[in-house]
Amino acid sequence: MATLIDGLLETHLTNYLPQNLQKNVDRPFVTLTYAQSLDSRIAAQPGERTAISHQETKTMTHYLRSKHDAILVGVGTVLADDPKLNCRYKKAFSFQSKASTIKPVIIDPKAKWKYLNSQLHQLVKSGEAEAPYIVIDQNTTLSDEETNCLKACGGNYIVLPLLGKSNVDQWNLILKALKDLDIKSVMIEGGARVINDLLKIQAREYKIIDSLVITIGPVFLGKDGVEVSPVSSLDLRFVRWWSGGRDSVLAALPN
């Protein structure tokens, strides 16, 4: 397995990483990456955590995390998955004294997620993850307990006028705010609303995704599964495929 995954990381992905592609001036470099079934679904049911990636493609995801400043997910994902959102790719930092870090960013306009009770909070306390930025709407009221806990850990809120805005305006605000916080590259992992919005913007409006890396697992999740699709057609260029012991990975630059 080590040989297979090394081939993917060193040979196939090099041309799709932030540091090897043109830098953006007004927003971070955006990599959209997720794991889908053969029928283009990322979860078996809405709000259900569903393992699609094999261990070797999970390793690839952590390699990608090691190459980005931030990892972004929507609140639906943290509520469903209670994810770790850290970087567990060992090779990337084996010659460094400090572990590779990545800043979690959670889009949670109405502050529904409780950081205090999350697995991420436990990992932050044990030094295994970074405290997150939580993107909230400017009219959302926060509890003192949550705010104090987040800030004491080194996290913070990013307060933006999100609600009532178009998707495009929301994403422009979010990405500009990240850039202002010196985040130069962001790996966006999901969930379905986030992926579908970005694919739709890319297909219909303008370039928002710089790099696309999709793991495809050999499973059908069926009609109850949560579908991801850009709605209208979207062409890809510089397409590269890698096949491992079980999954395949597509890396591409969207048009």
Ligand X SMILES: Nc1nc(O)c(N)c(N[C@@H]2O[C@H](COP(=O)(O)O)[C@@H](O)[C@H]2O)n1
The full length of the chain comes to 255
Dihedral sign from CA coordinates of 149, 152, 154, 157: positive
Q: How far is the CB of 5 from ligand NAI (least distance, A)?
A: 18
**Cβ closer to ligand NAI: 93 or 181?**
181
Indicate whether 216 belongs to the interface with ligand X (CB under 6 A): no
Q: How far is the CB of 247 from ligand X (least distance, A)?
A: 9
Indicate whether 73 belongs to the interface with ligand NAI (CB under 6 A): yes
The token duo for 149 is 């806990």
Indicate whether 36 belongs to the interface with ligand X (CB under 6 A): no
Site track for ligand NAI across 148-167, x = CB under 6 A: --------------x----x
Angle 179-181-184 from CA coordinates, rounded to 5°:
45
Indicate whether 52 belongs to the interface with ligand NAI (CB under 6 A): yes
Cis, bond preceding 7 (omega within 30 deg of 0): no
How far apart are the C-alpha atoms of 151 and 196, rounded to whole Å? Answer: 31
Sole binder of ligand NAI in the list 5, 9, 17, 107 (CB under 6 A): 107
**Cβ closer to ligand X: 122 or 139?**
122
User: What residues contact residue 53 under an 8 Å CB cut-off, 6+ apart?
Assistant: 35, 61, 215, 217, 247
* 97: number of Cβ within 10 Å: 5
User: What residues contact residue 64 under an 8 Å CB cut-off, 6+ apart?
Assistant: 13, 17, 31, 33, 187, 213
Sole binder of ligand NAI in the list 13, 64, 75, 252 (CB under 6 A): 75
Helix intervals (H) in 82-239: 119-125, 144-152, 167-180, 192-204
Residues 205-224 that bind ligand NAI (CB under 6 A): none
Sole binder of ligand X in the list 61, 66, 185, 211 (CB under 6 A): 61
Indicate whether 195 belongs to the interface with ligand X (CB under 6 A): no
Sole binder of ligand NAI in the list 18, 28, 76, 244 (CB under 6 A): 76
**Cβ closer to ligand X: 126 or 141?**
126
Would you put residue 108 in left (φ > 0), alpha (ψ -120 to 50) or beta? beta
Binding site for ligand X (CB under 6 A): 35, 50-53, 58, 61, 73, 77, 81, 83-85, 189-190, 215
Binding site for ligand NAI (CB under 6 A): 34-35, 42-43, 47-50, 52, 73-77, 80-81, 107, 109, 162, 167, 170-171, 189-194, 197, 226
